[in-house]
Amino acid sequence: MEQSKEPYIGPRAPHFLGYPEASATAQTVAAPLLAGASLSLIGVIIVDGGDFRWPGVTLLLVVTSAIALIATMQIGADARKYLYNRQTVEAWYAPEDLERNSELLERRSAHFIQWQVRNRRAVITFNTGTMLLIFSVATALVPPHDEQAAWRWAAAGLALAGALVEAWWIHHLFHEDPGGPPQKPKSLNGGDG
Amino acid sequence: MLYDVTLPGNGVDLHQCPSCVRPFRGHYTRDQVDDWERALEQGESLARAHLEQSGAFEVLHTATCPLRCLPPAVLALCPESELRAQYHKGRAVLGDC
């Protein structure tokens, strides 16, 4: 039998099917909360600047963090409009519309790629925002004077360690091996079939 | 394990082959697709060299995946009709790589 000359090309989908939801959670739940925390910290530093060792540096870090996290929400929302599955297409268009306009499903493929490209920017701003927030917390904790200095240095050190772990985690996520071919299951009787 | 801990870091750049759904990782741009098209125009040896350099042979496709002779940038960034066109162009120049 002659092999078909057209390659099989399936629908575009994320490799981890839960990834879009996980990404959306980071952009619509985590980012607003962390942005709110950044904005609160800005207020505290402006009012009580004298209680911080480096109020200027801390303010710069936390303002940049807030901007990055707010950008995450906006870029993520912009990206999200490109992500939908076949069910959504079928909910909007009757079968006869889909037959008449075959480009609707082709457009979904192009839109998925657009979502990946735009969502990547939201991911970068989110990771940047969280890193800057942790650094700003570390600088805010540095004691301005000797009172309880040891405890505050320990807390600042812990925050800095958290920042390093976060940086390692982000690096790991960007370079994680997605996994090789599926392992052939071993036969129970020790044979091959 | 650390992987089970919920941390706010967010991963990205994971794609899968639209034919054999094997995963691969990387950040790709349309410029890389254009580079591939230019390499195809220049003939088999340059196209083959481009495939090598692009990391196409590092993607763990199945042995019979029809898209294994395309650079990862094409797999990641080309919608279906463009992907089919790239497949046929690649086959015309490289045959079965």
Task: Name the residue in chain A with its Cα closest to that of B59.
Answer: A180
What residues of A are in contact with residue B80 (Cβ under 8 Å)? 9, 12, 106, 109
Per-residue confidence at A182, pLDDT binned at 50, 70, 90?
low
CB contact under 8 Å between A106 and B15, yes or no, is no
Distance (Å, whole) CA A110 – CA A102: 13
The closest CB to that of B23, out of A11, A109, A178, belongs to: A178
- Domain around B51: 28-97
User: Has residue A70 got a pLDDT over 60?
Assistant: yes
Number of domains in chain B: 1
The half-sphere exposure of B8 on its side-chain side, counting CA atoms within 13 A, is: 25
Q: How far is B43 from chain A (nearest CA, A)?
A: 22
Structural domain contains residue B90: yes
Cα–Cα nearest to B13, from A143, A67, A15, A88: A15
pLDDT tens track for B16-31: 999 999 999 999 999 9
Judge whether A71 and A125 are in contact, CB under 8 Å. Answer: yes
Please give the average per-residue pLDDT across A131-147, as a whole number. 91
Q: Which of A137-151, A160-174, B34-48 has the highest mean pLDDT?
A: B34-48
Tokens coding A166 = 């976060």
Please give the average per-residue pLDDT across B6-13, as a whole number. 58
Chain-wide mean pLDDT for chain A?
88
Residue B64 sits at the chain A interface (C-beta within 8 Å)? no
What residues of B are in contact with residue A10 (Cβ under 8 Å)? 18-19, 21
Judge whether A158 and A151 are in contact, CB under 8 Å. Answer: no
User: Has residue A41 got a pLDDT over 90?
Assistant: yes
Residue B42 sits at the chain A interface (C-beta within 8 Å)? no
User: Has residue B62 got a pLDDT over 80?
Assistant: yes
- Provide the 8-state DSSP code for A185: P
pLDDT tens track for A75-112: 999 999 999 998 999 999 999 988 888 888 889 999 99
